[in-house]
Chains A and B, each alone.
Chain A
Amino acid sequence: MNIDKVNSGPTTEETTMLAQLHSRLETEADKSQLTDISYRVFDTPIGKLLLASTEAGLVRVAFESEGYDHILESLATKVSPRILQAPAKLDGVARQLDEYFAGTRHEFQLPLDLRLSTEFRRTVQLELGQIGYGQTLSYAQVAAKIGKPKAVRAVGTACATNPLPIVLPCHRVLRTDGALGGYLGGLPTKLQLLELENPQRQTQSDPVLF
């Protein structure tokens, strides 16, 4: 027996106990309404996604490339530092995403919390929800739809800062010439989502990537 041992890493037994204590904390914090943001990391065919929600609804969907640490720190600053990993609170979101990637869900039915967006961007992002599954619009068409036909650039920015990609389908917005435009999750991901929704897309003319 060695006194120095007490500062060593966790034993298997301690790791198991900490996991149990963590789920107990999730439950008790939820009961006392102390968790302002619950999150989980969820596996999908396009990679791992970070899902975060407040009491009001889904507040953030993030790609791994955005850096989860950075995203959580930014949520701590902008919303609240009372953030806990609480997978069960996001079961509903995870299930709908599973169905979407299986091709059986064409529309998300989830409460959304767009507090991270400014009013203009929120208008654009909500408009994205009106673009049907498998359809695409150009940035200019979206600008026209919200009654600001000249705000094409601002619409592009609103898409690029969409806090809820996939759920609010900014991947359905392309450039007027049919080029993909941009995507926070990377252009291959944007293409993958468009092809999931419209398998014929692959056989059409080669997409112009840049």
Chain B
Amino acid sequence: MKQPFERVVQTHGLSVLRVCRALLDEHRAQDAWSETFLSALKAYPQLDQEANVQAWLVRIAHRKAIDELRKHRPETVQAEVENGDGVHASTPAQNLENLELWQVVKTLPEKQRLVIAYRYLGGLSYAQIAEVLSGTPEAARRAAADGIKNLRSKLNEAQTPGAKR
């Protein structure tokens, strides 16, 4: 039996949003989320009953996001990270940490950024990530490890007294 689509949106809307935000700037992340669920709704009746819905959604989100990434190279992303604090100045303090974390994820090299987003935000296995990125699970695992290490050192840098904050 297939779940009503509304339940798919309720269950996976948040992780797809986080994936989109980790890859794209705010405005395009929202567009990507909308396009992802619209495409998913269209294709939903044909989806295999046994399919992993989360992996399927992240794969669709990946295609939508990658189009945007190819169109707008990192300059945009970089500029946005530098102005990050100003952009989100009005956001409640409790949300800042997550937002800042995403800003930092965006500064990672593309492969690491994608793998981390799919693994930690999208909840995909390395085998599923390998399928999305047409690579091997081992390479995906390595990229994730490098990405996390990279992320940790970037976050530490940001928290060192005398640094920007």
Show the binding face of A for B, using Cβ within 8 Å.
1-3, 5-7, 10-14, 17-18, 21-22, 24-25, 28-29, 32, 34-35, 37, 39, 72-73, 75-77, 80-85
Contacts and interface: CB of A to CB of B under 8 A. Distances in A.
Instruction: Sort A-B residue pairs by CB-CB distance and give the 5 closest, nearest first.
Output: A83-B4, A13-B95, A81-B2, A72-B4, A11-B95
A7 B120 contact: yes
B145 interface: no
A87 B92 CA distance: 29
A134 B144 CA distance: 69
Interface range for B: 35 or more
Interface string B77-97: 000000000000001101101
Interface of B: 1-7, 9, 13-14, 17-18, 30, 33-34, 37-38, 41-42, 44-45, 91-92, 94-95, 97-101, 120-121, 123, 148, 151-152, 155, 159
A128 B17 CA distance: 47
Contact of A84 (B1, B2, B6, B151): B6
Tell me the interface secondary structure of chain A in the complex: helix
Given A24-B34, A25-B38, A83-B6, 5 more contacts: A10-B14, A12-B94, A13-B92, A14-B14, A81-B5
A82 B98 contact: no
B41 A34 contact: yes
